[in-house]
Amino acid sequence: MIKFARNALAEVSAIESPTGIIRRHFIEQLNKVQQEEGMTFANKLSGQHISSVNRKMNVSLAAQTFLSSSVADSREFLRRVGDPNFKGSEATVEFLYYIDRIFDILNSRNPLGKGYKSPLRLDNKSYWLFVVV
């Protein structure tokens, strides 16, 4: 499903959501800013993640792009400091947070995990029900 989300966004460049437009452009812009500044915002985003045409089957690249709250945090930071390239990126950031949370919830194996990283149980229903609804 992660590869599907990444490939769909690569094909159409934008997806309409109830809160706005999710745009691939913001992922590309973040990579561009990081390359121009010569620094990263504590994420693994690189040119390989952007040019995924030849790497459609690479799950790790898709996961590092969509399953990283640090990528969403980086975009949100740039939007809040007033970078004009990230104006209107709220829906994209929200989408990335949802994908990250859903993956954490569904990929939980550790019985000692806390919050979103714990297995689905009735006693932690408040964590995962909020993301699903």
Tell me if the pTM is above 0.75: no
Contact status, residue 29 vs residue 88, Cβ threshold 8 Å: no
Contact status, residue 105 vs residue 131, Cβ threshold 8 Å: yes
Per-residue pLDDT at 99: 82
| H-helix or E-strand spanning residue 22 | strand 20-23
Per-residue pLDDT at 113: 80
Per-residue pLDDT at 129: 77
Per-residue pLDDT tens listing for the chain (133 residues)? 777 777 777 788 788 988 899 888 887 787 777 777 776 665 656 555 556 555 555 666 666 666 667 777 887 888 888 888 888 889 988 888 888 888 877 777 788 888 777 888 888 787 777 765 5
d(CA 42, CA 115): 23
Beta bridge partners of 21: 16
Per-residue pLDDT at 61: 66
Token pair of 62 as six digits: 């898709």
Angle 46-6-21 (CA atoms, 0-180°, nearest 5)? 100
Per-residue pLDDT at 62: 64
Contact status, residue 17 vs residue 91, Cβ threshold 8 Å: yes
